A and B are shown apart, each in its own frame.
Chain A
């Protein structure tokens, strides 16, 4: 049985929960990042679509504007400290503040055997766009998040694999685990300044997952069969809504946590 998700049209209904706030969403040119960007913008946030290539980021920013929201694209390479700093500086210059940093961008994740893993091919990109990028985005955003008077939010996209390991992409798991450990540490370190740090572990119909479905026709059915809610998540209405909660005042007393948003497939926390 497959239960329909709330449609993207419903999710696009405008609200004001983030009115006057500014968010950067990395990797927002597609998939989960795009869904989060659209959802935050629909609640009134100025959203910076931080994408590696303007060809993917600009259409998302345009979609935000077409819905009546405030969105701009800034080309950003999250593996580069300088590029992330420039993105944050441009954001501040444009909007006068930054209250929400969402690090979602990720590159890599090629299936491999651990014994044969080559660090250049199977590790570098994941380490740089995952863990190093948490360093870059967190450091660049922190002064602004601290200035947000208790509304500073650092949200990191991780994975259930960061808890339970992975038989298919074994080096993906330590990268995602490291992100969770950093989030817990920063929750304790930054809590006194009123900045919260949380993770989302999504399973959603991102382009990567859709491509995997096309490569392996039985995969979607297998995932849905083991998922209590019987479907794969929608990037905007399912994952974006959890990001909205973490970005909003509703989550003011939540920090250091990981919300697994996968329809109940993983129950290990």
Chain B
């Protein structure tokens, strides 16, 4: 399994050394973690938060296709779906990658590749949940925190299995039942 991305979550997945059934690329969104009011973002900030991570993600998607992998999995924080004050620049990248998954799924299904997204709690990416704030009136449905080894790895293994052959363009949210919109 190829893991693309440079953040703490990508590193954790590399350390976990997940064994999967199908040839798989996992693209972990390189989202910035520093909360900054939108009005003070500089062009340099925005280039680092939006332009460069998106260029890397597009190239990573293309590498996965060139490699002939059967599975492409993007991993993003839920802030793209919920929005996050002072993190608009990071939310933009997260949501763009999540929806690029759908475009890729539509084009590459005929090539035998499924493309899906796993959306995770922001703290797994190093984003302070207090900065994100409450995104639902309801408390989390499940107690405890999502962990890489117990929660993310099994999910990656499932999506990368032969059993998931007809699953594509989907977003699987694993955040303990915080964001429930689809």
Contact = CB atoms under 8 A, between A and B. Distances in A.
A221 B31 CA distance: 42
B107 A113 contact: yes
A170 B104 contact: yes
Contact of B96 (A119, A164, A181, A189): A181
A115 B66 contact: yes
A19 B178 CA distance: 43
A178 B93 contact: yes
Given A127-B54, A181-B80, A186-B88, A139 B38 contact: yes
Contacts of A142: 38-39
Contacts of B101: 165
Nearest to B106: A167
Interface string A128-144: 00011001001100100
B121 interface: no
Interface stretch (B18-26, B57-65, B156-164): B57-65
- Is chain B's binding surface mostly helix, strand, loop or mixed? helix
A256 B88 CA distance: 12
B38 A170 contact: no
Contacts of B104: 114, 165, 170
Interface in B29-48: 37-39, 41, 43, 46
B91 A174 contact: no
Interface string A164-188: 1111001101111111111111111
Interface string A225-245: 000000000000000000000
Contacts of A139: 38-39, 41
Interface in B82-104: 82-88, 91-104
Interface of B: 37-39, 41, 43, 46, 50-51, 54-55, 58, 61-62, 65-66, 79-88, 91-108, 133, 169
A8 to B, nearest CB: 33
Given A177-B96, A187-B83, 13 more contacts: A114-B108, A117-B58, A119-B55, A139-B39, A142-B38, A165-B99, A166-B103, A174-B95, A174-B99, A179-B92, A185-B86, A185-B92, A256-B83
A180 to B, nearest CB: 7
A117 to B, nearest CB: 7
A163 interface: yes
Given A181-B80, A188-B83, A173 B133 contact: no
Interface residues of A, number: 41
A123 interface: yes
A135 B58 contact: no
B119 to A, nearest CB: 12
Interface of A: 81, 113-115, 117, 119, 123, 127, 131-132, 135, 138-139, 142, 162-167, 170-171, 173-190, 256
B62 A173 contact: no
Interface-centre pick from A113, A114, A190 (highest chain B CB count, 10 A):
A114
26 contacts: A81-B43, A114-B103, A114-B108, A115-B62, A117-B62, A119-B58, A127-B51, A131-B50, A131-B96, A135-B38, A138-B39, A139-B39, A142-B38, A173-B100, A177-B80, A177-B98, A177-B99, A178-B92, A180-B95, A181-B81, A184-B83, A185-B83, A185-B84, A185-B86, A186-B88, A188-B83
A220 B61 CA distance: 32
A127 B46 CA distance: 12
Give 7 nearest A-B pairs by CB, closest first. A184-B83, A165-B102, A170-B103, A174-B96, A177-B99, A181-B95, A185-B88
Contacts of B107: 113-115, 167, 170
B66 A177 contact: no
A74 B101 CA distance: 38
Contacts of A187: 83
